[in-house]
Structure 1
Amino acid sequence: MGWVSVSSLIIFLSFLLHFPSYNCLLCNPDDKSALLQFKNSFFVLNSSLHFHFYYDPCSSFSSRIESWKNTTDCCGWDGITCDSKSGHVIGLNLCCSDLRGELLGLNSPIFKLRHLQQLSLTYNDFFGSSIHSSIGNFVNLTHLTLSPFRISGDVPSTISHLSKLEHLCISPEDLLLDDPTKSYSKIRIDDYTWNRLIHNATNLKEIYLENVNMFSVRESYLSLLTNLSSSLVSLDLHHTQIQGKFPTDILRLPNLQEIDLSSNENLRGELPNSNWTTPLKTLFLSDTAFSGYIPDSIGHLKSLNSLGLSDCHFDGFIPPSLFNLTQLSFLDLSYNKLVGPIPTQITKLSELSTLSLRDNMLNGTIPRGCYSLPSLFALDLSSNQLTGSIGEFSNNSLQFVKLSNNKLHGNFPNSIFQLQNLNYLDLSSNGLSGVVDFHQFSKFETLWILDFSHNSLLSLKFENNFDCILPKLLYLYLSSSNISSFPKFIAPNLEALDLSHNRIHGSIPKWFHENLLCSWKNISYIDLSFNKLRGDLPIPPNGIEFFSVSNNQLSGDISSALCNASTLSILNLASNNLTGLIPQCLATFPSLWALDLQDNNFYGSISDNFSKGNSFETLKLNGNKLKGPLPRSLAHCTKLEVLDLEHNNIEDMFPYWLETLPNLQVLSLRSNKFHGVITSFGTKLPFPRLKIFDISDNHFTGPLPVSYIHNFQGMMNANDNQTGLKYLGNNSLYNDSIVIVMKGRYMELTRILTVFTSIDLSNNMFEGEIPTIIGELHSLKGLNLSHNRIIGTIPISLGNLSNLEWLDLSWNQLKGEIPMALTNLNFLAVLNLSQNQFEGMIPKGGQFNTFENDSYVGNGMLCGMPLSKSCKEDKEKSSHSTLDKEESGFRWKSVVMGYTCGMIFGIILGCNVFFFGKPQLLAKVVERGLNVRLIRPTGRKPTNCWKRICLT
């Protein structure tokens, strides 16, 4: 070893002797001064920035700018590169330097560095400042990287002066570091700047503009990228709002290796059938409007290693040639309408680490090779129509397994317990069976999600004599899993627990209460609903957001300790035996948007301390014993959409001050002690979005509330163009529901369609006539004015209610003839005009041919079908017809005319009966119209047999 050191020393001395006048190069003094000025224009944080990411990209960096000292040579400073001959600064890299201040303002010292060739200011915070036009003075720049937080404004057109650019990266982050709920406007690039940049910077190899707003760049300007055919290697336009049809020729550029156009939902395009760019390694088109089929030509991309086509409009079969791409490591074809089986050739992809085919229409069995791909890290085949049993796993690298929402059956595969690195297991919503020893999951030290929900044939075995220890578990979902007792486990990091829809009975165990209060520091979601739990209500801890114990048998009062859970967003205690007063603190919780206490035994008055700016969207207190007046502070609930107070003892005038609530869509005050005349507060547009208005079974008097009906905008405009089913509310964690009455029967909407509208003013003491303005509520599906003191005739305008499905005007003092205009109501399935003073002939045609006697009883002056009493007019016509025959004799012309007319009338009548007349088909019409399921005994008279209607 000694001789090596001596030899090295001799060589070093010879080097010095050969260059006796060598001196270290010093940086240019003007550049050094500019850098120190630049440093002083920012302030540096002592700790690294906190990013709202799963990882911190700057975790291993310290601020480079701290090494910048006036006493040292700037060429030796961190992040600085100097020219070897002139000493000018040619490279400035301040990535992750914890800088905060203005980015590139007019007087920024950075513009004095005229010789810069490379500039990177990634992951710093520039307070929403913009890029100054002086950026165009850096004419020597070849690499420009600006990926900081909070930059805004327009990319200056002078950027096109940078004709030597090879690498351009402008990718701002959207979110504030300390408040991820606020968003700043993205930096923008217009079509003029884009046009000049692509024309002048002809050496561009890499373009990264992720999150830049390119909305104004038209599709014709996107085609300019073909001008870079000899240079372009990488193109990233992720989430840039580009739209129109993407030029297919860009996918044929000869040197293109990676392209990311994902998260541009209005960007259309198709994959080329031939002449792909063969060097392509990465192709991401997820969340775009690309459509068509995946062509066989994709198999020519031998270098492809990442392919993401999820959430597009691709359809058809998976091309077999895809599995010739043996370099493929990432494959995501989720959400794009693929059909057919998963090809068995998938086993050729030995390098595959991520395979996602979720949310398609794939069928058949899962190829056995999927369970043994040697490099597979994540397998997601959820939400398809796959059948058969789950095979045996023999791949130790698997960490994520998602096979939920399929038609898989058979025994639970015990080979899963051999996956030592498993992090995520979701087998929910299948038909799995067998017995699973829950304690075997203790083997998985890194498991953080476990979901067995909705496997009713599966039996989970729990040992009560020792705990199942799951140290990393965050989410445990065991809903509808045939569990009869609480699973005992230790999971100190638990964030979500779902044991709903099981057979768990008895009292909630002591250890569960202790975990709530002490162990589960991060718990935010607990669902114990639809079990048979008894005893006291468990108290959720502070920090929890979702807590549901509905549909159990819990009893007793609500402890005041519940007031500590002020972070709640959803609290559902419905359908228990709870009693006592409702804690007043609930009205003050800042984030609580759904409070469901229905069907309990709560008494006392409703709290009058609803705070301003609260978050309430749903408030359901129906089915209790609440009394007193309605609190005026409810007017502070400006976000409220559903207010259900039915079946209480609330005694008050009509709460006209609720008419100012801009988002209220459901108001149910049924079966209380409201009274008096309904008068408007005088709001310009009262109840502008109301769709369900139920004030039945109270003591209201005076005329019908015309001033409100006149302004029910939410019931006037039928949305006939709406595609698909849309429901009230925008959160999958809670479904709004309502119970309405139709022909004296209850109908429960467990989810409320946005197109569902109804008015129920029945069982009051309203007087006067039916206002004609009701005929303008074109979206109305149900109208019940029964059991009042209404007089006059039926307005002809009711014939305009083309979406009406039931009409109940019974038990009033209405008179006159039934308007023929009502036969225009093609969706009318239930009609009740009984116990009035109607007279004349019952109209014929349309749905009226399907109604039976009980629709008209108690009207002594009515006649015609279906009543047994025939009309005098019919008898006279019959006698005139006979006399005509006797006088005219037998005429073949009359026979032919009668036969023809009869045939036409028969066809029309037959069609009506075919589509609407038969009880079975009538039920289907109602089901389609309301999106409900009719649960009734078999019989020939469905109108008398409907007992309960539940939303499917």
Structure 2
Amino acid sequence: MGWVRLSYFLIFHCLLLHFPSYNCLLCNPRDKSALLQFKNSFLTNISSYVALFTEDLCSSYSSNMKSWNNLTDCCGWDGVTCDIRSGYVIGLNFSCIDLRGELLGPNSSIFSLRHLQQLTIAFSDFSGSSIHSTIGDLVNLTHLTLLNFGMTGDVPSTISHLSKLEYLLIGSINSLLNDPIKSYSKMRLDDYTWNRLIHNATNLREIYLDEVNMSSVGESSLSLLTNLSSSLLSLVLYDTQIKGKLPTAILRLPNLQEIDLSFNENVRGELPNSNWTTPLIILILRHTAFSGYIPDSIGHLKSLYILQLNSCNFHGFIPPSLFNLTQLSHLDLSNNKLVGPIPTQITTLSELLILNLNDNILNGSIPRWCYFLPSLSFLYLRNNQFTGSIGEFSTNSLQYLSLSNNKLQGNFPNSIFQLQNLTFLNLSSNDLSGVVDFHQFSKLKTIFYLDLSHNSLLSLKFENNFDCILPNLQYLFLSSSNVSSFPKFIAPNLEDLDLSHNRIRGSIPKWFHENLLRSSKNIRYIDLSFNKLRGDLPIPPNGLEIFLVSNNELSGNISLAMCNASTLFILNLAHNNLTGLIPQCLATFPSLSVLDLQNNNLYGSIPDNFSKGNSFETLKLNGNQLKGPLPRSLAHCTNLEVLDLGNNNIEDMFPHWLEILTTLQVLSLRSNKFHGVITSFDTKLPFSRLRIFDISGNYFTGPLPVSYIHNFQGMMNANDNQTGLKYLGENSLYNDSIVIVMKGIYIELTRILTVFTSIDLSNNMFEGEIPKVIGELHSLKGLNLSHNRITGTIPLSLGNLSNLEWLDLSCNQLKGEIPMTLTNLNFLSVLNLSKNQLEGMIPMGGQFNTFDNISYVGNLMLCGLPLSRSCKGNKEMLQHSTFDEESGFEWKAVVIGYGCGTIFGIILGYNVFFSGKPQWLTRLVEVVFNVRLPRTNNRKHVISLGRS
């Protein structure tokens, strides 16, 4: 329940139950005794925990029991209302008091107040308490309000005995507390109790059930509400988990003024197409499964004040009649599938305060009336397909303006600088053009949010000879806005700054260091990535949470002064020219989740002091000159999802002790000096969530790691039912990336789809056969086992890899025929079986009809299309191949040099021909020519995919 609604409720109860009631008559002695007994049963201090979240609501009114004593008349006590004739207590209002214990338990003296008509208990902490069935004894109740924190259990069926009820509010303020530590259970109201209540309480006028679990209440039970057609004024079932289709007749109830079914995602329904003339004032169906068209009949609701149909499934056009509702103040149709233009002809909407049409498929130009409505304060039109230019505003009421993610063109409207009350402006991701004098924004004294990002034709002009003062600015986003120099401004309250993807060159100015990095107390997010910055790395201040300066030309060391920024959550220094050692302190930052230092010139060893309980989820140190063994303290990174240490000089055995990292999904050790046989650490389900496993370009020996492949559960279950694209990681401020060899090409995936899985064990010295268990990795997209010493046949089980897109088994010692089962791989677009000893007919059908002879070169016993050798003359085929079985090299191919140059090819071919020892030769060539074969680092030839 929102704060506004809670405020309305509290004010209502204060007025309703605190009217003057004291008379010369003394209150009933039995009632007085019951109240004193009740007082002595509970603590009556204001709950500090609840008061923290309800301070504004309780400041105007809070009852207390200080006046409750034997010496005074109970009719004059705070929160007590008496009948002026009989002296019986007929009203109790306990709001903002910490009444701990079984308030409505079986022994509560409240239940002896049989003349009680109105009972309000609100904004108190009743953790673990429930409502006892004795509530049904208060048969004279007409108004019951229980709006508290922590109440659990079932609403007793005896509540249906309260046949005189006119007003019922049972709700929770759990969601307002938003406590990440505590978890709260809701109260439950079952189908039987609901049915009995609606059947007996025929005078119910207002029903408010807030965060009460009504999941058992279905379609037939909801239809009972039509029995209240003559009385029902308000129906609020907020986040109650009701389900089924709401009968349209309920929306037509003749006296209904308010209906709110918010956050019931399983309740369906449609709006009435005709005969809809009810006196509705508030209609809120947000976050439900209501669907269909918004009918023209909605224009008959002449009293409508609030209409919220956001986050439903409505489609079609916006009916023009909707804008003839002259009383309309709040209109929210966002997160639907509405199409077409906004109607241009309207009746004067003099009361319209909020217009929210975000996240639809609306098009056309923004109508002129949006620019001059006298009361319009919030205009939200983002994520649509609006075209044309932004008009000139002639109203001073506008506070929030969001037009981002459209196709708007033309110049920036100068009238925006005259909107003195503007606090929020977002025009990002459009096609705005022209020159904007940034200093004009200093006229907007109240603005706290400014986003002009991703307007490629817009040019911002800055005058650095004087400061632009923005006293209330907290968020400034100017990404991809053709900014060529640091904008000089003073914003003492700035929290977020994004200047990424611009043309800023040179060193970071001194004033930036002084005003933002040293003196600012509020700054928490800075993004300077994708510019042309040079010089030393700026040092972020303590308190900063996100610091992004990747893809620049920064140089020098990472200063030890970086250790002062221990509050960092994301640190991205990738793709610069940084050198020196990685400060050890970075491994000890308690909140650091992402550390990306890839593609610099850092050397030395990886920090060996990763602390227990750290927050690391992504650690990318690839593309540097790091050496030494892996630190065992990496095993403390129990939340790690991405670990990329590729393209370094790390020398170690395989880190089997990383098996215990149950969240690890990406592991890349490619192009290092790892060596030896891979053995398991005997961990239960090692690497069970791994999706990308790349250990290519090392010196691993022995059999392929079958014990790990057996447990790659993250690669076994293809999620064919997943809708939409989902990416690894949940942080919108950082995208996990990885460089892989896909279909023979080095490619950088700048975002990693959760369905993407690959294994690359190429360019090692693995021996033995391909394990059949690989065929169980049904979600596998790519498999590369090339350039090893693998023997045996291609297992038939590889034909089960139904999602496989590329398969590279080249440069091994495989024998036998190519299995026909591989023709089942309908997504296979790249196949490389070259440089083996395969024989027989090449399979026909499926994707095999698309592969050319490059896929099979070097297998002299293969025949059939696409090769020129016919399978009819198998006996006449060459009996002696030029393939050296011991070395696994074809010397004629070596003479060609694999594209490495004529001299290098001749030397390599000569030595292979005479010695037949490629391992010795490889080491020799590496020393003489200062290269590594065949583990060439192609960092300069990386293709990037997915960059936005």
**TM-score band w.r.t. shorter chain:** 0.7 to 0.9
Whole-Å separation in 2 of the counterparts to 1:850 and 1:716: 27
5+ residue gaps, structure 2: 1-21, 877-940
What is the deviation of 1:70?
A: 4.6
Residue pairs, 1:276-675, within 5 angstroms: 276=276, 278-346=278-346, 348-675=348-675
1:82 aligns with 82
What is the deviation of 1:527?
A: 1.4
Deviations 1:838-862 (A, max 9, x none): 2233333322222223222222223
Deviations 1:385-427 (A, max 9, x none): 0000000101111111111000000000001112111111110
Residue pairs, 1:537-936, within 5 angstroms: 537-873=537-873
**Aligned-partner residue type, residue 59 of structure 2:** S
Whole-Å separation in 2 of the counterparts to 1:238 and 1:56: 22
2:199 aligns with 199
User: Per the alignment, do residues 442 and 131 of structure 1 end up closer, same or farther by CA in structure 2, a change over 3 Å counting?
Assistant: same
**Aligned-partner residue type, residue 121 of structure 2:** L
What is the deviation of 1:45?
A: 3.6
Residue pairs, 1:88-167, within 5 angstroms: 88-97=88-97, 102-167=102-167
What is the aligned counterpart of 1:948 among 921, 943, 947?
943
User: Per the alignment, do residues 199 and 247 of structure 1 end up closer, same or farther by CA in structure 2, a change over 3 Å counting?
Assistant: same
What is the deviation of 1:833?
A: 1.3
In the alignment, is the contact (CA less than 8 A) between 1:817 and 1:840 conserved in 2? Answer: yes
1:226 aligns with 226
**Aligned-partner residue type, residue 799 of structure 1:** G
Whole-Å separation in 1 of the counterparts to 2:49 and 2:639: 38
In the alignment, is the contact (CA less than 8 A) between 2:43 and 2:98 conserved in 1? Answer: no
What is the deviation of 1:685?
A: 1.9
In the alignment, is the contact (CA less than 8 A) between 2:167 and 2:204 conserved in 1? Answer: yes
In the alignment, is the contact (CA less than 8 A) between 1:558 and 1:578 conserved in 2? Answer: yes
Whole-Å separation in 1 of the counterparts to 2:184 and 2:381: 36
Deviations 1:805-849 (A, max 9, x none): 111111111122222322222221111111111223333332222
In the alignment, is the contact (CA less than 8 A) between 1:48 and 1:98 conserved in 2? Answer: no
Whole-Å separation in 1 of the counterparts to 2:793 and 2:635: 37
What is the deviation of 1:61?
A: 3.5
2:28 aligns with 28
Deviations 1:168-188 (A, max 9, x none): 111201248594553311222
1:42 aligns with 43
Deviations 1:895-949 (A, max 9, x none): xxxxxxxxxxxxxxxxxxxxxxxxxxxxxxxxxxxxxxxxxxxxxxxxxxx9725
Whole-Å separation in 2 of the counterparts to 1:845 and 1:217: 56
User: Per the alignment, do residues 25 and 272 of structure 1 end up closer, same or farther by CA in structure 2, a change over 3 Å counting?
Assistant: same
SS class of match (1:65): coil
Whole-Å separation in 2 of the counterparts to 1:601 and 1:27: 86
User: Per the alignment, do residues 395 and 24 of structure 1 end up closer, same or farther by CA in structure 2, a change over 3 Å counting?
Assistant: same
User: Per the alignment, do residues 588 and 142 of structure 1 end up closer, same or farther by CA in structure 2, a change over 3 Å counting?
Assistant: farther
**Aligned-partner residue type, residue 852 of structure 2:** E
In the alignment, is the contact (CA less than 8 A) between 2:46 and 2:96 conserved in 1? Answer: no
Q: Does 1:173 align with 2:168?
A: no
What is the deviation of 1:728?
A: 1.4
SS class of match (1:797): helix
Whole-Å separation in 2 of the counterparts to 1:743 and 1:48: 59
User: Per the alignment, do residues 785 and 47 of structure 1 end up closer, same or farther by CA in structure 2, a change over 3 Å counting?
Assistant: closer
Whole-Å separation in 1 of the counterparts to 2:101 and 2:563: 42
**Aligned-partner residue type, residue 167 of structure 1:** Y
5+ residue gaps, structure 1: 1-21, 877-945
| Identity of matched residues, % | 79
What is the deviation of 1:100?
A: 5.1
In the alignment, is the contact (CA less than 8 A) between 1:176 and 1:183 conserved in 2? Answer: no
SS class of match (2:56): coil
Deviations 1:187-233 (A, max 9, x none): 22111221221112111111111211111222221111111111110
Deviating more after overlay: 743-752 vs 66-75? 66-75
Deviations 1:734-757 (A, max 9, x none): 211111013542011111111111
**Aligned-partner residue type, residue 162 of structure 2:** L
Deviations 1:598-642 (A, max 9, x none): 112233333333333333222212112222222333333332221
SS class of match (2:299): helix
Deviating more after overlay: 361-370 vs 347-356? 347-356
2:249 aligns with 249
User: Per the alignment, do residues 243 and 632 of structure 1 end up closer, same or farther by CA in structure 2, a change over 3 Å counting?
Assistant: farther
**Aligned-partner residue type, residue 948 of structure 1:** I
In the alignment, is the contact (CA less than 8 A) between 2:841 and 2:863 conserved in 1? Answer: yes
In the alignment, is the contact (CA less than 8 A) between 2:39 and 2:65 conserved in 1? Answer: yes
Deviations 1:758-797 (A, max 9, x none): 1100011100011122122121111100110001111122
**Aligned-partner residue type, residue 951 of structure 1:** G
In the alignment, is the contact (CA less than 8 A) between 1:382 and 1:403 conserved in 2? Answer: yes
SS class of match (1:91): strand
Whole-Å separation in 1 of the counterparts to 2:152 and 2:564: 41
Whole-Å separation in 1 of the counterparts to 2:81 and 2:327: 37
**Aligned-partner residue type, residue 815 of structure 1:** K
Whole-Å separation in 2 of the counterparts to 1:768 and 1:451: 59
C-alpha RMSD of the superposition: 2.3
**Aligned-partner residue type, residue 542 of structure 1:** N
SS class of match (2:798): helix
User: Per the alignment, do residues 611 and 184 of structure 1 end up closer, same or farther by CA in structure 2, a change over 3 Å counting?
Assistant: farther
User: Per the alignment, do residues 528 and 688 of structure 1 end up closer, same or farther by CA in structure 2, a change over 3 Å counting?
Assistant: same
Deviations 1:99-139 (A, max 9, x none): 55554233334334332211112222223422222222222
In the alignment, is the contact (CA less than 8 A) between 1:701 and 1:766 conserved in 2? Answer: yes
What is the deviation of 1:46?
A: 8.3
Length, aligned pairs only: 862
SS class of match (1:840): strand
User: Per the alignment, do residues 552 and 193 of structure 1 end up closer, same or farther by CA in structure 2, a change over 3 Å counting?
Assistant: same
User: Per the alignment, do residues 34 and 600 of structure 1 end up closer, same or farther by CA in structure 2, a change over 3 Å counting?
Assistant: farther
What is the deviation of 1:568?
A: 2.6
What is the deviation of 1:37?
A: 3.9
User: Per the alignment, do residues 493 and 72 of structure 1 end up closer, same or farther by CA in structure 2, a change over 3 Å counting?
Assistant: farther
In the alignment, is the contact (CA less than 8 A) between 1:44 and 1:100 conserved in 2? Answer: no
What is the deviation of 1:559?
A: 3.2
Misfit runs of 4+, over 6 Å: none
In the alignment, is the contact (CA less than 8 A) between 1:803 and 1:827 conserved in 2? Answer: yes
In the alignment, is the contact (CA less than 8 A) between 1:409 and 1:431 conserved in 2? Answer: yes
What is the deviation of 1:289?
A: 0.8
User: Per the alignment, do residues 304 and 192 of structure 1 end up closer, same or farther by CA in structure 2, a change over 3 Å counting?
Assistant: same
In the alignment, is the contact (CA less than 8 A) between 1:50 and 1:177 conserved in 2? Answer: no
SS class of match (2:567): coil
Whole-Å separation in 2 of the counterparts to 1:99 and 1:852: 81
Deviating more after overlay: 195-204 vs 59-68? 59-68
User: Per the alignment, do residues 179 and 311 of structure 1 end up closer, same or farther by CA in structure 2, a change over 3 Å counting?
Assistant: closer
User: Per the alignment, do residues 673 and 746 of structure 1 end up closer, same or farther by CA in structure 2, a change over 3 Å counting?
Assistant: same
1:237 aligns with 237
In the alignment, is the contact (CA less than 8 A) between 1:852 and 1:866 conserved in 2? Answer: yes
User: Per the alignment, do residues 441 and 589 of structure 1 end up closer, same or farther by CA in structure 2, a change over 3 Å counting?
Assistant: same
User: Per the alignment, do residues 588 and 859 of structure 1 end up closer, same or farther by CA in structure 2, a change over 3 Å counting?
Assistant: same
TM-score normalized by structure 2?
Answer: 0.87
In the alignment, is the contact (CA less than 8 A) between 1:517 and 1:541 conserved in 2? Answer: yes
Whole-Å separation in 2 of the counterparts to 1:727 and 1:509: 37
SS class of match (2:707): helix
User: Per the alignment, do residues 219 and 633 of structure 1 end up closer, same or farther by CA in structure 2, a change over 3 Å counting?
Assistant: farther
User: Per the alignment, do residues 649 and 110 of structure 1 end up closer, same or farther by CA in structure 2, a change over 3 Å counting?
Assistant: farther
Deviations 1:538-589 (A, max 9, x none): 3333333222111122223333343343333222221122233333333333
What is the deviation of 1:872?
A: 3.6
Residue pairs, 1:255-270, within 5 angstroms: 255-270=255-270
In the alignment, is the contact (CA less than 8 A) between 2:325 and 2:347 conserved in 1? Answer: no
Whole-Å separation in 2 of the counterparts to 1:203 and 1:290: 28
1:904 aligns with none
What is the deviation of 1:332?
A: 0.7
